[in-house]
Amino acid sequence: MIIRRPPDIAPSEITDPGVYNRRREFLAGLGLGLAAAALPGRALAVAAPAHGARFEGVVPNVVTLDEKATPFDSMTTYGNFYEFGPDKESPARNAHRLRTRPWTITVDGAVKTPKTFALDDILKWAPLEERTYRLRCVEGWSAVVPWVGFPFAELAKRAEVTGNAKFVEFWSLADAEQMPFVRIPFLDWPYVEAIRLDEAMHPLTILAFGMYGEVMPKQNGAPVRLVVPWKYGFKGAKSIVRIRFVEKQPETVWTKTAPDEYGFYSNVNPDVPHKRWSQANERRLGEFFRRRTLPFNGYAEQVGQLYTGMDLKRYF
């Protein structure tokens, strides 16, 4: 398998066509004073996003979703990456500052020996697969994304995890030089998310190095991010620099910031409303009408057994 190294070039300065939705209200309450914008999917003039180098030898995966992918332009100009700003357009405008080479990931905690792996070595561990997954964000928008990556279990095999490990933390880069909004303490940096070990080891959970056949755009979490398709998108830590296996359920960036709004599990559950809006339906990027939100984002058959006996309204 041949993998072309991505060029470290700045993407175009891009104006997002959408809104920050209700999360904007939360951040505004923290003193950021955000401006209003249009609804997601509303047609506005937008500069074409830059394309990156393509991966070669990517194979389709049998678990891929047979749905039309959200346009590349929509996914690269609309999203959350708070280290580059609180608005949906901020990541595309500011993420060109991010340096993705060289890149390493430290793996520690409940492992036999802490290790630091170079990204270029990680990319050789397993064949890269294209998996088209639904993405559901807590603000009420959704997308269908063809990710490029491989199962998280490939990393866990090399981590030599001990029997004490029950949860996995994912730490994002927090470098104020590259990420200007890290200087503003509206979140408890670094951005740390976590899931249970059995969730991480599920075959649907992947480390993603790209999307749409290309290396991961910087505004979408380059060079590597987590993708757990049955959970809300904020569980997908971006620009990962540390993976820590731990025994006890850890705090995460959102359970510390707003525990009454963002639960640890964060499984897509349309029957549990967010504190300030319903989760019963969603708007797909590029579409006008809303659609019904599916339990576990449509992956209930594959992952429902992970939560047998749990009160999914209490453990939201």
Per domain, the residue ranges of the chain are 23-307
Give the integer Cα–Cα distance in Å for 219 and 47.
15
The H-or-E segment that residue 104 falls in is: strand 104-109
What pLDDT is stored for residue 144 in this prediction?
97
Q: Which of 41-50, 53-62, 185-194, 228-237 has the lowest mean pLDDT?
A: 41-50
Name the pLDDT band for 31 (thresholds 50, 70, 90).
very low
Residues 202-229 have pLDDT tens digits of: 999 999 999 999 999 999 999 999 999 9
pLDDT at 37 over 70: no
- Using one digit for the tens of pLDDT, what is the confidence trace for 123-147? 999 999 999 999 999 999 999 999 9
The alpha carbons of the chain give a radius of gyration, in whole angstroms, of 18
Token pair in block for residue 299? 């992956």
CB atoms within 10 A of CB 5: 11
Residue 225's nearest CA partner among 251, 205, 197 is 205
pLDDT, average across residues 157-181: 97
Contact yes or no for 128/148 (Cβ under 8 A): yes
> Rounded distance, CA 36 to CA 28, Å?
11
Best CA proximity match to 152, nearest among 209, 99, 111: 209
The CATH code belonging to domain 23-307 is 3.90.420.10
Measured CA distances, 18 to 3, 87, 205, 223 (Å) = 34, 10, 28, 25
Which residues, in sequence order, are bridge partners of residue 130? 60, 148
* 250-271 average pLDDT score: 96
Q: Are the beta carbons of 144 and 69 closer than 8 angstroms? A: yes
| Beta-sheet strand order (sheet of 167-172) | 115-118, 104-109, 240-246, 167-172, 192-196
Angle (nearest 5°) at CA 235 between 144 and 290: 40
Of the CA atoms within 13 Å of residue 81, those in its CB half-sphere come to 31
Give the pair of three-digit tokens for residue 94: 């500011």
Distance CA 104, CA 48 (A): 30
Specify the pLDDT at position 11: 33
| Range list of H helices, the chain | 23-27, 72-77, 90-94, 119-122, 153-159, 197-200, 253-257, 300-303
